[in-house]
Amino acid sequence: MLEDGEWDANDQLLRLSRLRRREAELVERFGASAVHAYLAGRLWLVYHVIGKLAGMVYVWQRSA
């Protein structure tokens, strides 16, 4: 996404910074769960890009 130009990391980090500065005001206006959900959604891609997350799914099977 970064190489294709579909996602702008600078814009994303700037938005996260602004959200952190105004977090108390936004929580009061929209509620804690909405603000934290938005924050988590934005951080997920940043963490994925810097290698803190791996794109895999674990499937557990029960053997009898």
pLDDT per position as a tens digit, 5-34:
888 888 889 999 999 999 999 999 999 999
Q: Which pTM value belongs to this model? A: 0.67
Q: How confident is the model at residue 49 (pLDDT cuts 50, 70, 90)?
A: confident
Q: 22 and 56 in contact (C-beta within 8 Å)?
A: no
- Spatial neighbors of 2 by CB under 8 A, at least 6 apart, are 9, 49
Amino acid of residue 11: D
Over 80: is that where the pLDDT of 64 sits? no
Q: What are phi and psi of 50, to 5 degrees?
A: -85, 5
